[in-house]
Amino acid sequence: MNDLAFRIFLRFAGLSLLAVGGAAAVLPEANRQLVEGEHWFSAQQFAEIFAIAQVAPGPNVIVFPLFGWTLAGWSGFLAATLGILGPSSILALGLARTLRRNAEAPWLKRLKGALIPLAVGLMAANGYVLARAADANLLLACVTFAAAGFVVYSSRSPLWAMAAGAFLAVAAGRLGWM
């Protein structure tokens, strides 16, 4: 494993156990470390990689292997995947038996309940950080606003909102509005 891949592994392994309530919760911290700390991506690139990962099926966490791949090809891909999934997976497997035995325990329910408000706040922070990077003009800010409304008020696939946003931006580009 080369030097960059090793650094990717260490960064992502450090993020793995911070993902309370899902992978999206750790994205603002990933942004802080990868964009502001390491300067591996511009804020705009970070938002675009997130968008590409949203188009693929499967869990949100797959954005991390894509960060690694973009930075360092296959070795980065492998390092990022092992880093982001390794520590949390070892913890889950290590605690699986204990947790299953205590599935009805009050402290576990309370822990789950305690993490929900954090997950909500971090998800909103993720959206805010991405919007700051992605919304370069008024049209794009409107796309963000509309997509947020679409998620809240429609049960259709969020892919529709992404397709509409992409289509609008291409049309605006062709018309010279962007």
By CB under 8 A, the residues from 124 to 153 that bind another protein are 124-131, 133-136, 140-141, 143-152
Tokens found for residue 93: 């497997």
Smallest gap from Cβ 28 to another protein, in A, equals: 5
What whole-number distance in Å separates Cα of residue 146 and Cα of residue 152? 10
37 to 76: interface string for another protein, x by CB under 8 A: -------x--xx-xxxxxxxxxxxxx--xx--xx------
CB of 34 to another protein, least distance (A): 13
For the segment 80-99, give every residue that binds another protein (CB under 8 A). Answer: 81, 85, 87-89, 91-93, 95-96, 99
**3 state DSSP class of 54:** helix
Sequence-separated (6 or more) residues with CB below 8 Å from residue 139 = 168, 169, 172, 177, 178
159 binding another protein? (CB under 8 A): yes
Length of the chain: 178
